[in-house]
């Protein structure tokens, strides 16, 4: 673990960027101010989990290398962490178009207030406030905070799980074997639920298998983060239906309500 201390008040930050003179932080810097300052301190080879601990006269910054966002699932950070973030290096896309230069990006979420993203382009630092999505969800769960609710009702979510199960079964079957019958696809359909709490409960007790989420992870996630984590790993439902239309019999498609 890498540890850096930043002095508050009139003292300068340790390990300053070679492009920037030391700048004193305010006694209580905002998340945006911290992100702008911290993004210039290191150039990470691997993604770094960043923790910020506020002391009376200094701010301590801890960095821990991680391999994948999935490494964050199931963990929590100490109560003394005032903010948590992810620091990465790579090519940045803007509105779907990749930018030419590589950049350092620090996404930081405090226990209070909105998250902030600082992008170090080399010549200047750009601050982007706000943000939402899977990374925000995981950082909120690390802090023990709730995430925004799912965007769809649970039965629509389970329908997506179902058609993906059917497609996976069809694609994995031995060459020349018959395609699933109406009875086969019915047995793949998850049992109905009344709300998202039931979805998570069934995932937690192992009665509902969902790609990429084991029972321990389901217990750590909340409704919104579970939904977005699973959806991020599933093919688009329109594409699934298009594939099933080519692979299943008319009878099976009709049984599934896809014809």
In this predicted model, what pLDDT tens digit does every residue of 68-111 receive, in sequence order?
888 899 999 999 999 999 999 887 776 667 666 788 999 999 99
**pLDDT at residue 139 is higher than 80:** yes
Q: Do residues 181 and 252 touch, judged by C-beta distance below 8 A?
A: yes
Closest C-alpha among 44, 146, 27, 25 to residue 85: 44
Burial of 148 (0-12, 13-18, 19+ CB in 10 A): middle
Residue 133: Cβ-neighbour burial (10 angstroms; 0-12, 13-18, 19+): exposed
Of 122 and 82, the structure prediction assigns the larger pLDDT to: 82
Share of the chain above pLDDT 70, in %: 86
Domain edges within the chain? 2-142, 154-256
Q: Which 3 state secondary structure label does DSSP give 161?
A: helix
C-beta neighbour count of 259 within 10 angstroms: 13
Q: How confident is the model at residue 14 (pLDDT cuts 50, 70, 90)?
A: very low
Residue showing tokens 């969800």: 137
pLDDT in tens, 206-246: 999 998 899 999 999 999 999 999 999 999 999 999 999 99
- DSSP secondary structure, 29-66, as one string: --HHHHHHHHTTT---SS-EEEEEEE-SSEEEEEEEE-
* Predicted TM-score (pTM) of this structure: 0.81
């Amino acid at each position: 673990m890498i540890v850096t201390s930043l002095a508050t008040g009139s003292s300068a930050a340790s390990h300053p960027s070679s492009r920037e003179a030391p700048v004193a932080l305010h006694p209580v810097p905002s998340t945006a101010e911290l992100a702008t300052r911290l993004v210039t301190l290191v150039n990470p080879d691997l993604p770094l989990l960043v923790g910020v601990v506020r002391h009376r006269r200094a701010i301590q910054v801890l960095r821990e290398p991680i391999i994948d966002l999935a490494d964050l699932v199931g963990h929590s950070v100490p109560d003394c962490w005032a903010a948590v973030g992810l620091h990465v290096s790579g090519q940045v896309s803007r509105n779907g178009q990749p930018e030419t230069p590589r950049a350092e990006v620090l996404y930081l979420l405090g226990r209070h207030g909105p998250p902030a993203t600082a992008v170090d382009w080399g010549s200047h630092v750009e601050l982007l406030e706000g943000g939402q999505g899977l990374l925000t969800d995981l950082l909120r769960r690390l802090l023990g905070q709730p995430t925004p609710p799912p965007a769809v009702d649970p039965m629509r979510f389970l329908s997506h799980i179902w058609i993906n199960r059917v497609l996976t079964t069809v694609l994995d079957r031995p060459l020349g074997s018959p395609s699933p019958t109406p009875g086969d696809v019915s047995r793949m359909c998850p049992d109905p639920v009344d709300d998202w709490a039931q979805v998570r409960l069934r995932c937690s007790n192992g009665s509902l298998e969902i790609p990429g989420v084991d029972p321990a992870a389901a217990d750590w996630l909340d409704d919104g983060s579970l939904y977005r984590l699973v959806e991020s790993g599933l093919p688009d439902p329109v594409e699934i239906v298009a594939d099933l239309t080519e692979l299943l019999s008319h009878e099976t498609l009709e049984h599934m309500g896809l014809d």
